[in-house]
Chain A
């Protein structure tokens, strides 16, 4: 691909057809409208040129034409808006069972890590027929993840996680571009997405480039290495000087100022790097900052581990329910290989 001349891009995701349909509708509408305007102007300009003997008597016609134009165009515009919003909801809402992949962008490369720990740089392997959800962060400036064949794009920000998803339909190799200007080699921040049939993908995954350990496992080791556990103990243990992390992910956390925040990935990341920013109610500001000590990948691994520490436990009955059914949907983004790990932790928590 991408070597011969085309006028329409490859379409290789479940979103591509929807975006193309809307695009082609707009193309047809534009061609019709511009042909109308061009025709009208050409006709009037020629018909009423000075040399032509025609009726030029002035008639006042109020503003009926304009109001008619408004009355016709308004519903059309709103229709286009709704259609666009519908496509956009599809583009921005990942299905719950999507396969998680993490992405760290930096000047000028893309680093990927699969749920089983396998890492790739500038190349991403994915299977067809399986939604894939990318959780992305940048190590420096703003980048943008853009795969034209999938018709989707998402900026990758420093200091905050963004995500995108797609479900590839056609095996092949597709270009990945950085679409947000990011400095000298912006145009060389290019990668490939290799889409394989599920069988080929499974073969690739089990291939000889032996896989690294799952992110949650790396995260658990980091958790030990940095001795986070000296303060963050399980809820039933004594002496915890920090809030327990069990059931933290996706729960609502009360802050010292009286507000609450949703404990999403971005919140957890911020709490690791700049704990003073959002102080949890009822605790001292004693946690050190890990800014500059843990890499973006390290933070991602810690988050993967924290996700395995159970589901939101808003009420005790919900916690009990979660205990009865270890793999709750919210715990889903955790790496599959660490699922039993998650189950252990959750069960340890419930009694």
Chain B
């Protein structure tokens, strides 16, 4: 894609085109060895888009399989490998690294007025680790396959599965280090690299969100790494850790796994929340309502996220009293999430709202996240969770929060910052149409699954009872719409690289340091170090006194 820009812009206006991070150098080498955080962001964009398409394709195949109750399209074994592939790719190679990798890398230094990350080479190394881990996992899952589900429950994964569990785990292990290094880099960057005047409470909420995420990455991911090592010890050397036949405890794995993986849910959704704060503020030209509380809510979610892992285990044989503690704590985590939803809604109050594509995605996010959060309440409630646990209700819930939350925010963010990243505008009409189509397709896909879940259809079922078919057909029809809807942005965004209108430095007339530098920004981000003497989101109603 970068070659195309070169051919159109480079040929026609080589001398007028100001130097920016894209045209600074053009060799493959200059991309693969870059330490520019903006280029690294684009490298992530390429890698992550690839994984997203792949994970999505797997989903379309098994959703087609689920059109009929018999399981006639693919065999059980293939089906199990498909949903495992889908889960692993979407979680570890799209949702977790997605927003921090692409938008975080591109924006964190610019938004705080820095020239780069604190450790640029480490940043590049994170991308390589991510790609190596990703390609390795992909190779394994495609050549041989893994059938454990992304949750790898023992002793199935450690003893019984005859698939390539170990090799897959190695891939995820490697990628985990990418996560840890990215987290470290963000933490140090936010602490040390802020430009003069950029105090903590002048930080855009996107920075707060990425900061909270980075804390979870650094504290949580090592637990995942250790867990994977333990599975390896058991599988490879027969040391009894999880398999009771070897003297291990099968439920221990679940504790370790969810101790990482529930916080990981917030690794996925907190950056999304940060994006939404930016979008809502920019398109209502308002300061985010209750700015400080939104910032603190991010931290509260990060901390509480570590205390609720047991709500995945109410029926695992864990004691009823442990279940009660986890239930109360899970209820508490609903409060900061709810506060954020209200604050975003109230940011619209007395705003000056324009319905550009990024805002449509943000409003879609609010709708879907509200439903996702409220159904989280059902799962945190002991008596109800016992019935809906491990059914399609859970599948619907986590897709509402993760796909409805994270993917909507990711797409909204990509549209919002696309002009900054590429210097080009996309066709607004197509973009609005796609945003609406995503929303419709999404609801048609996942809402029926709540009903299926309460009816009792367990998740990870390749064949099911005839009574469940109508709802499954609705869901599959929705998935086809959703799948097509995701292809639109990919198409017109690539199109825009060549034919899109040139973007000005600040096409949305938004505030924030990233809009005070040309689009695309120069390699060093700012020609001179900015000095901040204004609050975040300081929108002035009177255009006359707006900040440049």
Give A residues with C-beta under 8 Å from B.
1-9, 18-19, 22-23, 26, 29-30, 33-34, 37-38, 40-41, 44-45, 48-50, 54-59, 63, 65-66, 69-70, 73-74, 77-78, 80-81, 83-92, 107, 140-142, 144, 146, 148-149, 151-155, 157-160, 162, 175, 177-188, 274, 277, 291
Q: Chain A's interface: helix, strand, loop or mixed, by majority?
A: mixed
**Residues of B contacting A30 in the complex (Cβ-Cβ under 8 angstroms):** 371, 374-375, 377-378
Q: Which 5 A-B pairs have the closest CB atoms?
A: A159-B244, A148-B456, A87-B383, A84-B381, A88-B382
B84 CB → nearest A CB, Å: 10
Q: From residue B430, how far is it (CB to closest CB) to chain A in Å?
A: 22
Is A86 a contact partner of B383 (Cβ separation < 8 A)?
A: yes
Flag if A9 contacts B456 (CB, 8 Å): yes
Given A41-B363, A73-B334, A181-B156: A19 touches B383 (CB 8 Å cut-off) = yes
* B405 at the A interface (CB under 8 A): no
A178 CA / B153 CA spacing, docked (Å): 15
Chain B binding surface, main DSSP class:
helix
Instruction: Count residues on chain B whose CB falls below 8 Å from chain A CBs.
Output: 92
- Report the separation of the CA atoms of residues A34 and B369 in the bound assembly, to the nearest whole angstrom: 10
- Residues in A with CB closer than 8 Å to B463 are 187-188
- Nearest-neighbor residue (CB-CB) of A42 within chain B: B363
CB distance from B228 to the nearest CB of A (A): 19
B156 touches A142 (CB 8 A): yes
Is A153's CB under 8 angstroms from B454's CB? no
Contact of B247 among A65, A70, A157, A274 (CB under 8 A): A274
Q: Which residue of A lies closest to B292 (CB)?
A: A63
Q: Beyond A91-B383, A186-B462: 10 further Cβ-contacts under 8 Å?
A: A19-B383, A22-B383, A23-B384, A34-B371, A41-B363, A45-B348, A58-B541, A87-B384, A144-B315, A157-B317
Q: Is the CB of B454 within 8 A of A8?
A: yes
**B71: interface (CB < 8 Å):** yes
| Chain A residues whose C-beta falls within 8 Å of the C-beta of B168 in the assembled complex | none
- Would you call B384 and A155 a contact (CB within 8 A)? no
State which of B15-23, B27-35, B205-213, B335-343 sits at the interface with chain A. B335-343
Docked CA distance A149–B348 (Å): 45
Taken together as a complex, chains A and B put the C-alpha atoms of A126 and B320 apart, in Å, by 26
Q: Please, which residue of chain A has its CB at the minimum distance from the CB of B297?
A: A66
Is the C-beta of B68 less than 8 angstroms from some C-beta in chain A? no
Instruction: Determine how close the nearest CB of chain A comes to the CB of B341; give it in whole angstroms.
Output: 6
B352: CB under 8 A from chain A? Answer: yes
Comparing B127-135, B323-331, B479-487, the segment that makes contact with chain A is B323-331
Cα A304 to Cα B172 with chains together (Å): 45
Residue B470 lies at the interface, judged by CB distance under 8 Å to chain A: yes
CB neighbours of A86 from chain B (8 A): 383
The docked-state distance in angstroms from the alpha carbon of A73 to that of B340 is 14
Is B367 on the interface with A (CB-CB < 8 A)? Answer: yes
For B271, the chain A residues whose CB sits under 8 A away are none
B349's nearest neighbour on chain A, judged by CB, is A44
CB atoms of A151 and B335 under 8 A apart: no
The segment from B45-53, B187-195, B255-263, B385-393 found at the interface with A is B385-393
